[in-house]
Homo-oligomer: A and B are copies of this chain.
Amino acid sequence: MSNRQRDASAPVANSHFADRLVDAVRRTGTPVLVGLDPRYELIPRGLQTGDANGPREKAQAFVAFCRGVIDVVADLVPAVKPQAAFFEQLGPAGMAALAEVINYARAKNLLVIVDGKRNDIGSTATAYADGYLGDATNSAWGADALTVSPYLGDDSLTPFIDTAGRRGGGIFVLVKTSNPGGKTFQDLVADGRPVYRHVAEHVERYAADTAGRYGYGLVGAVVGATYPDQAVELRAGMPHTWFLVPGFGRQGGTARDVAGAFAKDGLGAIVNNSRGIIFAHARREYATRYGDARWQGAVEAATREMIAQLAADTPAGVLRRES
């Protein structure tokens, strides 16, 4: 995938990220976000290259696998979320694969949210923002958005917001994460409310300050599907903030659990599913019907199943796919 091809087909990157997200969710009629979390031992056997493979071969298998997933989901969902850790685990070859996957997804008109949970102080945060947010003409990775950790505070978030504003990019700040241990520090109570609520207040303020034409800002929040009550509470207090909701499927979150993360018009939340979709060929309900050889059929079936579940049990049911 050359940069030239990609530039021609990528969304106009300097328009507002939240506007592009609203448009993409409305176009596809669903808030399903497909997580690209490749793990060598779980990808279909036909894409594994043998026992003696090194990081380069594994990285090539990751690219082939992710392209195969993207080919299936590009027409069904608004966005994908590559998990940086699994690419990074393979070293430089894995990072080259991540870049290929990002380019391929954007060329297929998908929004790309890199899940890197990056952050640092001041000018170093600017380096991350500059590297990740933008398109192939102005940033090294060319992602639409990046997940960001809040622990370093306000002056670590503003460099991302500034760069995102110039580049048409967005960030999703960790607020209430889906893992059981998320409570260790996020649920500490200060001034009468948990730490994650403090983070949420900052995020909502940044979102309101950067709101686009649909009222959503370019700063979003990560709010785990495994905490439905907190999602309701946060949704009420964060009207300008898009939620990225992990924890659906394998981590235990159901469509009913994530319903509270949405606004009444079906916008405001995208719900991630990684393993439940990309490794659907290994799920009991699909293994016999599709199995390893027809793994892309399983990806499509699992994606359509999740789209239907969210349509049935969440406010996203009011969305209609634009034909």
Residues of B within 8 Å of A83, CB to CB, are 120, 124
Q: How far is the CA of A134 from the CA of B153 in the complex (A)?
A: 30
CA distance A99 to B120 in the complex (A): 20
Chain A residues with a Cβ under 8 A of chain B: 37, 55, 83, 85-86, 88-92, 94-96, 98-99, 115, 117-122, 124-125, 127-128, 130-132, 140-141, 149-156, 174, 177-186, 188-191, 195, 198-199, 202
Q: Main SS of the interface on chain A?
A: helix
Contact partners of A90 in chain B: CB under 8 A: 131, 140
Q: Identify A92's interface contact among B55, B92, B191, CB under 8 A.
A: B92
CA distance A189 to B151 in the complex (A): 14
Q: Are A184 and B153 in contact (CB under 8 A)?
A: yes
In the assembled complex, the Cα of A115 lies from the Cα of B90 at a distance in Å of 18
* A and B contact pairs by CB, cutoff 8 A, 19 listed: A85-B118, A85-B120, A85-B124, A85-B125, A88-B128, A89-B130, A89-B140, A90-B131, A91-B141, A96-B96, A119-B149, A121-B177, A122-B179, A149-B151, A151-B151, A151-B186, A152-B174, A153-B179, A153-B185
Complex CA–CA separation, A89 to B198 (angstroms): 30
Q: How far in angstroms is the closest Cβ of chain B from A318?
A: 31
Q: How far is the CB of A295 from chain B (nearest CB, A)?
A: 21
* Bound Cα distance from A155 to B178, whole angstroms: 11
Cross-chain contact B185 with A150 (CB below 8 angstroms)? yes
